[in-house]
């Protein structure tokens, strides 16, 4: 089940978040455009996605799945939810940055039609970031 995060989710989300980013950003205080959704299985939080919808564009900030629940399409469902939300909100595109060495992340995004748009040199503690974009709501 995917649902909006509430404040009692905070300790578990912090634990997950710190596993892959030490910057200490408060996931609950990322501004009025930010959405924080969690994936719950049998009352356990096993993953989350954080994205922003800013008028006509969307940006994925983080997606994370507990290691013992990976490769079960949980990230896939979270991505589907985010893309549906951005599409119905009228966004023109979704962007994100991913570490150049993060193969699971890049493969996940490519699976949803994201394409590499630019390199952000030294974006991740000395490692390059890749800016990826997926166009939405294109009438062809």
Ligand X SMILES: CC(C)(COP(=O)(O)OP(=O)(O)OC[C@H]1O[C@@H](n2cnc3c(N)ncnc32)[C@H](O)[C@@H]1OP(=O)(O)O)[C@@H](O)C(=O)NCCC(=O)NCCS
- Applying CB under 6 A, among 3, 18, 72, 122 the residue interacting with ligand X is 72
104 binds ligand X (CB under 6 A): yes
Q: Is 82 in the site for ligand X (CB under 6 A)?
A: no
Closest CA to 115 of 99, 134, 128, 136: 134
Under rule CB under 6 A, residue 75 binds ligand X:
yes
Among 27, 62, 83, 129, binds ligand X (CB under 6 A): 62
Q: How far is the CB of 22 from ligand X (least distance, A)?
A: 13
The single residue among 73, 84, 90, 118 that binds ligand X, judged by CB under 6 A, is: 73
**1-30 positions binding ligand X, by CB under 6 A:** 20
Distances (CA, A) of 84 to 12, 57, 73, 122, 126: 26, 13, 16, 31, 34
Alpha-carbon distance values, 76 to 49, 123, 140 (Å): 11, 25, 26
Radius of gyration for the chain, computed over Cα atoms and rounded to the nearest angstrom: 15
Chain positions contacting ligand X, by CB under 6 A: 20, 62-65, 70-76, 98, 102-105, 107-108, 111
């Amino acid at each position: 089940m995917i649902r909006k995060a509430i404040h009692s989710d905070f300790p578990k989300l912090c634990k997950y978040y710190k596993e892959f980013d030490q910057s200490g950003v408060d996931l609950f205080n990322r501004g009025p455009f930010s959405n924080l959704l969690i994936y719950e299985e049998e009352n356990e939080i096993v993953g989350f996605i954080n994205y922003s919808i800013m008028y006509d564009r969307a940006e994925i900030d983080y997606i994370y799945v507990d290691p013992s629940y990976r490769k079960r399409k949980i990230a896939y469902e979270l991505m589907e939810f985010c893309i549906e939300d951005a599409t119905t909100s009228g966004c023109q595109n979704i962007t994100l940055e991913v570490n150049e060495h993060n193969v699971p992340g890049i493969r996940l995004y490519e699976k949803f039609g994201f394409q590499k748009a630019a390199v952000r040199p030294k974006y991740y503690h000395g490692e390059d970031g890749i800016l990826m974009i997926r166009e939405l709501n294109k009438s062809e």
